[in-house]
Amino acid sequence: SGATTLTIPPNSNVAYPVGTRIDLIQIGVGQVTVAGGTGVTVNATPTLKLRAQHSGASCIKIATDTWVLLGDLASS
């Protein structure tokens, strides 16, 4: 029920191949936030937070330490 932050680790710690997709679902009422670890960029519009309970999103690796988050994201 509490808020959760999912941190995407740097490529030096976990070498996911480019094109890797991580699917997320906010099961409870606590908001899920995605963050990049040291040196990791996560791009999204409008925020890096899922909008509400049962919202879904995908985080896709597009370069060595660059990811894109898309889905049902919060406006602020």
**Residue 33 reports pLDDT greater than 90:** yes
Dihedral angle computed from the Cα positions of residues 51, 57, 59 and 62, in that order, rounded to the nearest 10 degrees: -100
pLDDT at 1: 74
Q: Which stretches does DSSP call E strand in the chain?
A: 4-8, 21-25, 32-36, 41-43, 56-63, 66-71
pLDDT at 62: 98
pTM (two decimals): 0.94
Mean pLDDT of 42-69: 98
Give Dmax (Cα) for the chain. 33
59-71 average pLDDT score: 98
| Per-residue pLDDT, 11 | 98
Q: Is 63 exposed, middle or buried (0-12, 13-18, 19+ CB in 10 A)?
A: exposed
Q: What is the pLDDT of residue 21?
A: 98
